[in-house]
Chain A
Amino acid sequence: MSTSFAAAIRDGLATALSVDDSVICFGLGTDDPKGVFGTTLDLHKEFGPDRVFDMPTSEAAMTGIAIGAALNGLRPVMTHQRLDFALLSLDQLVNNAAKWRFMFGGARGVPITIRMIIGRGWGQGPTHSQSLQAWFAHIPGLKVVMPTTAEDAKGLLLASIFDDDPVIFLEHRWLHNMKGEVPAGDVRTPLGKARVVRSGDAVTIVAMSYMTVEALHAVDHLASQGISCDLIDLRTIRPLDWPAIVSSVQKTGRLLALDSGHLTGGVAGEIVARIATDHFASLKSAPQRLAAPDVPEATTPALTKNYHVRAEHIVEAVGRMLGREVETASLVTKRQFPHDVPGDWFSGPF
């Protein structure tokens, strides 16, 4: 049976709550009638208001409270409807959650999972759309997970919840309605293992989260023009599956790293740097990256048309790397709805 990404998250939460009494789940709107885009819908009815609950608009305190509860035996899952709201809690995440195990000589760790939803499109604007995985991945002690498929959403969420370290779990809003097969039960997808989505020998394309969807369109379009690419979906940003990238680059000799975050200081930059410094001999051409520009995202749709990396940009980049003409017009004309919505089902406001 085909399940949406959002339903898969809910399934993962329900599974975690039922297999382990120490799991609790909270965040603004967790038990409201919308249930965080359906990802927590009615869980409080199933597991009770002590384990699934709403909270005050107190992101910093509630993050510290999750940390304390985790130090005392619980496995809290906290949810932010937008990543941007979690920024209030950076001190707790960076100075407490990420450091606890280290600064107390391993006495205890902090098994929390913080879900953050990345917004985009339909005027989400500069403070509701930020893709800041690089920030979190920069902090030793935090793990950073970015699922793409519904199956991975559930599997990686379960692995995150039962991981003994703090995990930042980033969901892209544009994935919530994508469907896929999701296995039943307590299925855990190991953190730190990338997924090879397509196999080819021309270029290695590394993607994460919603970027993987655009990359998939690009790779299939390229295949129709006789160019076959490796497409790697990172799944976790930290730990990052370097062996998967290295072995692919050793095969293709070319690297295109994609990033849903800004270019400067981004994850794509890290991947390019590591491959260029440690595996230079494997490269036939300069590694490339595509990311969001180094400017905030505007609210008006007039300024977001080319803000996000799309399939055609990926196709063009691959063409440049291979020094050959590639056609993109047919790819662009296939898109049926405006650039600022995830699908024709979406008409705002969130």
Chain B
Amino acid sequence: MTELSHRLLFDMMRIRAVEETIAKRYGEQKMRCPTHLSVGQEAVAAAAGAVLEPTDLAVSGHRAHAHYLAKGGSLQAMIAEIYGRVTGCSRGKGGSMHLIDESVGFMGSTAIVGGTVPVGVGLAYPMKLKQTGQISCVFLGDAVPETGVFFESVNFAVVKKLPVLFLCENNGYSVYSPLGVRQPPGRKLYELVAGFGLKTFHGDGNDARAVHAALREGVDAIRAGEGPRFYEFETYRWREHCGPMYDNDIGYRSLAEYEAWKLRDPVLALQRTLIGEGALSEGEIAQMQARIDSEIDEAFAYAEASPFPDATDAFTDVYAGPA
């Protein structure tokens, strides 16, 4: 348990520090692509990373840095990708919104809302056929259950009893649109989805250990052949939808709401709990932070020292062979 808690905390602190460093350095104009940060939302990613096996597969959307890192993706390759370098995980061609590391089962994240949901279900089909024991994790935001393709995909996953974990981080907003303009009052996404005949769950997305416990049970059940499940966790994005800044001044959400969520910082919360339990000291946290910071420094240095792709790369990778 302590080991797990340490891992969750470390992964959350690492994700937080990576995202904050991107935010800090974004203004240098060297990361020339739209970038969606998940500061404040680290808990779900970290818990999922701890539950999923390296051989399990995952897909995600535009806000995927945390998912990629939690699934074991390379920090160096991710930062290099955001810098548009050839050493990036997509050789610079994809940028922040198109991350991939198949070696750890991160099969790709794409930028069109809902776009990878059926892909994640498709990944699960051969798992079922060949009884590989793997599961497919589909990371999604609260806007995704507004798309037709989401329900079409869930339906198929249920029909075929596929090993899919639909993992929804509900941060209350789609860009600047609150849930209230996108779903009727009182509607719960997990209840809505349950109508398709799969087990659905709902919980606090800022409590990493609780998320982990819920997912642990669910992933085991999915792996045992139960079929798909849908998990919705409530959480909050601190910074602007896209880009490095805070945007509480523009009026789509209240400062009070933001402050209230900030008090529920998932990283600080776990730190406090672990210190309170005597499972971790301030000194150990500082050591973790130092390790993380130096890894991040190295990753940024690596990205900046990496070459850009050669101009001829613009024409490669469109087809498997010469077209």
Q: Write the residues of chain A forming the contact surface with B, with a CB cutoff of 8 angstroms.
A: 28-29, 32-34, 53-61, 84-85, 87-88, 122-128, 293-296, 298-307, 340, 347-350
B242 contacts A by Cβ under 8 Å? yes
Q: A57-B147, A307-B314 are in contact. Are A125 and B177 (CB under 8 A)?
A: no
Least Cβ distance of A42 to chain B in Å?
Answer: 11
Given A34-B176, A298-B93, 6 extra CB contacts under 8 A: A56-B183, A57-B113, A122-B32, A125-B111, A127-B97, A295-B315
* A-contacting 9-mer, from B216-224, B276-284, B305-313: B305-313
Least Cβ distance of B132 to chain A in Å?
Answer: 30
Q: Write the residues of chain B forming the contact surface with A, with a CB cutoff of 8 angstroms.
A: 26-27, 29, 32-35, 84-85, 88, 90, 92-98, 110-114, 143-144, 146-149, 174-177, 181-183, 242-244, 250-252, 308-309, 311, 313-315, 318
Q: Is the interface of B mostly helix, strand, loop or mixed?
A: loop
By Cβ-Cβ distance, the 9 closest A-B pairs, closest first, are A123-B33, A300-B84, A299-B95, A302-B308, A300-B92, A32-B176, A56-B146, A349-B243, A33-B250
Contacting residues, chain A, for B149 (C-beta < 8 A): 88
Least Cβ distance of A347 to chain B in Å?
Answer: 6
Closest B residue by C-beta to A62: B146
Q: A57-B182, A125-B98, A302-B84 are in contact. Are A293 and B315 (CB under 8 A)?
A: yes
Within 8 Å by CB of B34, from A87, A295, A306, A350, lies A350
A61 to B151, CA, bound (A): 13
Least Cβ distance of B318 to chain A in Å?
Answer: 5
- What is the number of contacts between chain A and chain B, taking CB atoms within 8 Å? 148
Closest B residue by C-beta to A294: B318
A125 touches B252 (CB 8 A): no
Least Cβ distance of A61 to chain B in Å?
Answer: 6
B92 touches A302 (CB 8 A): yes
Within 8 Å by CB of B32, from A29, A56, A123, lies A123
Within 8 Å by CB of A296, from B110, B112, B318, lies B318
A297 to B96, CA, bound (A): 15
Contacting residues, chain A, for B33 (C-beta < 8 A): 122-125, 299-300, 348-349
Contacting residues, chain B, for A306 (C-beta < 8 A): 311, 314
Contacting residues, chain B, for A34 (C-beta < 8 A): 176, 250
Least Cβ distance of A194 to chain B in Å?
Answer: 32
Least Cβ distance of B91 to chain A in Å?
Answer: 8
Contacting residues, chain A, for B29 (C-beta < 8 A): 347-348
Within 8 Å by CB of A56, from B182, B309, B313, lies B182
Least Cβ distance of B321 to chain A in Å?
Answer: 15
Closest B residue by C-beta to A49: B181
A303 touches B177 (CB 8 A): no
Closest A residue by C-beta to B313: A303
Within 8 Å by CB of A299, from B94, B147, B182, B251, lies B94
Least Cβ distance of B148 to chain A in Å?
Answer: 5
Contacting residues, chain A, for B314 (C-beta < 8 A): 293, 295, 298, 303-304, 306-307
Contacting residues, chain A, for B95 (C-beta < 8 A): 123, 125, 299-300
A33 to B250, CA, bound (A): 6
A56 to B93, CA, bound (A): 30
B93 touches A126 (CB 8 A): yes
A349 to B32, CA, bound (A): 8
8 contacts between A and B (CB under 8 A): A32-B252, A55-B182, A57-B114, A87-B112, A298-B309, A303-B314, A349-B26, A349-B35
A32 to B240, CA, bound (A): 13
A55 to B181, CA, bound (A): 7
Least Cβ distance of B176 to chain A in Å?
Answer: 4
B311 touches A301 (CB 8 A): no
